Structure formats: C-alpha cells, structure tokens
C-alpha cells in the first residue's frame, strides 16, 4: 500500500470531480492536503471532511489560479499551515465551448488563463518552494513532485473546443520542458491525461443512456471512466514508487487514444 506520510500536498480545483477524488486519495494515503477551490466552498469542505474522517489533515483555501497574487497567497498559506510542501496537483480547469469562428476573445482568454496560465503560476510557485527546501530524505526521495491534470485532448484535436485543446496541448510542452529543467534538482514533473470521466464538467456527454451510448463509440474499453480511475494514478505519481518517472504523461482513457474508429477499417 502506498503511503505519503509526513508529506504535504496542494490540489487545485479540488471542490469536485477529478480534483476532489485526488485530494481525498492523497489524504487517505497519509498526506496533509490543502484543498483549493474557486467558487464551490461546499464541495471543498466535503473533501476536507472526508480526509479528516480517515484521521487525515486537510484545510480548504479559495483562490483563482489565473491570478498571480492569489496563487502566491495560496502557497504562502499552505506553508503556514503545513510548514512544507512536497506535492502539487495542478488540476483546476474550465471549458468555454464555441465553434472556432464564433469563439470570443473572452472565451479564449478565460480558458487559457485558468488551464494554462494557472498551471504555469502554480507550478512555478511550487518549484520555487521545492528548490528552496531541497531534498528531505525522511519525507521523499524527490525534492518535490508536480502533477498536471491534462486531457486526451493534449493529443486529440477537438472541434468546437479550440481553446480547451490549445490549453492542454500547451500544458504538455510546459510539463515536458520544466521536467527537463528541474530534473537535476530532483523535482519530478508528470501529467495525467484522462479521457471521458464522469464529472460535472462533461455531464451532458454521459448523463442519459443515449449520450453514454454515443460516447462509448470513442472508448474501446466500453465504459465511461470514474474519478476513482484517476485518483490512484496521482497517488502513485506522488509516491517514491514512481521516483524514476519524470516528463511523462499517463493516459487514463479506456483506450480513447487508440483511435477506435479504425477498429472497423482504415
């Protein structure tokens, strides 16, 4: 069983969906967890209660990850609470969908601001802390771990979602570049790229039988994913069991990246 005892984590966008499940899983593995939310404090409080129910330590903190000052304050508060930081899960993300020719600048900048600039701001703040702390062998073999929650759409084009796909494609090379830069300092940087997961952000794609049947045509494994399919992957990437893994994306997608349309010819 993986344990993250004596380690502290910050999970952004953790009031629902994948972020919520990851925060709870990290807490159950023994980590102290700072649970970030933007608007949904009730959801963040539920995650903290779930961790405390298992005798873990958690607190919730509000911040808009696209705002540099709010990000800096969030990390400072996390350090005041836990005295150290070992794990960042950069999960906060939004969608503002539109056909490309109808997409507004607000829709473009809003998604890029949260999904990509937010990932940059949080990763930069975490990296600064990790480098300042240095290696603490009794906590982890790494000086720090950064885990981005990306999407299969860092690789698969998605008509009607140009802003979202661009943000996740940018995240891919952000992850790889800083993994390369930070590896000599024993800071590991990786990403998880979920496929279709049952979360509030994509409810319309799976909440009716008809919608789910249509979605399953894209998933060779023939089921829509759950948040619990993703959370254990984050725990593993945060642990010493993955100490030689950096600069990698783990796809949790039921085979969506296998281009299932080619099953019937090509």
Distance of alpha carbon 156 from alpha carbon 159, whole angstroms: 10
Strand, coil or helix: 32:
strand
Strand, coil or helix: 99:
coil
Structure token digits, residue 265: 């010819």
Instruction: State the catalytic residue, choosing from 164, 185, 244, 259.
Output: 164
210's CB contacts (< 8 A; 6+ apart) are none
Structure token digits, residue 217: 């045509």
Alpha carbon distance, N-terminus to C-terminus of the chain: 43
Distance of alpha carbon 39 from alpha carbon 35, whole angstroms: 12
Distance of alpha carbon 230 from alpha carbon 233, whole angstroms: 5
Write down the H helix ranges in the chain.
Answer: 17-28, 41-53, 68-82, 105-112, 118-133, 162-182, 209-216, 227-238
DSSP 104-133: -HHHHHHHHIIIIIHHHHHHHHHHHHHHHH
Distance of alpha carbon 53 from alpha carbon 130, whole angstroms: 29
116, 173 contact by CB (below 8 A): no
Q: Does the annotation count 164 as an active-site position?
A: yes
Distance of CA 234 to the CA centre of its chain: 8
Catalytic residue positions, numbered: 164
């Amino acid at each position: 069983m993986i344990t993250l005892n004596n380690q502290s984590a910050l999970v952004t966008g953790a009031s629902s969906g994948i972020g919520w499940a990851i925060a709870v899983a990290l807490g159950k593995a023994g980590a102290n967890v700072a649970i970030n939310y933007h608007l949904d404090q009730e959801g963040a409080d539920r995650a903290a209660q779930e961790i405390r129910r298992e005798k873990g330590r958690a607190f919730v903190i509000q911040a808009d990850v696209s705002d540099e000052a709010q990000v800096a304050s969030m990390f400072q508060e996390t350090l005041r609470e836990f005295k150290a930081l070992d794990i960042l899960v950069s999960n906060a993300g939004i969608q503002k969908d539109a056909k490309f020719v109808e997409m507004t600048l607000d829709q473009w900048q809003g998604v890029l601001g949260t999904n990509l600039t937010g990932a940059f701001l949080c990763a930069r703040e975490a990296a600064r802390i990790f480098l300042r702390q240095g290696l603490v062998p009794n906590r982890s073999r790494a000086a720090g771990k950064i885990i981005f929650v990306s999407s299969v759409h860092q690789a698969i084009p998605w008509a009607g979602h140009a802003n979202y796909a661009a943000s996740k494609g940018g995240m891919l090379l952000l992850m790889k570049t800083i993994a390369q830069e930070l590896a000599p300092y024993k800071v590991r940087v990786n990403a998880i790229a979920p496929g279709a997961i049952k979360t509030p952000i994509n409810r319309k794609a799976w909440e009716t039988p008809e919608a789910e049947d249509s979605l399953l045509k894209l998933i060779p494994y023939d089921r829509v994913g759950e948040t619990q399919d993703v959370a254990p992957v984050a725990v593993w990437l945060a642990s010493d069991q993955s100490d030689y893994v950096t600069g990698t994306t783990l796809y949790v997608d039921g085979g969506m990246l296998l281009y299932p349309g080619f099953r019937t010819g090509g």
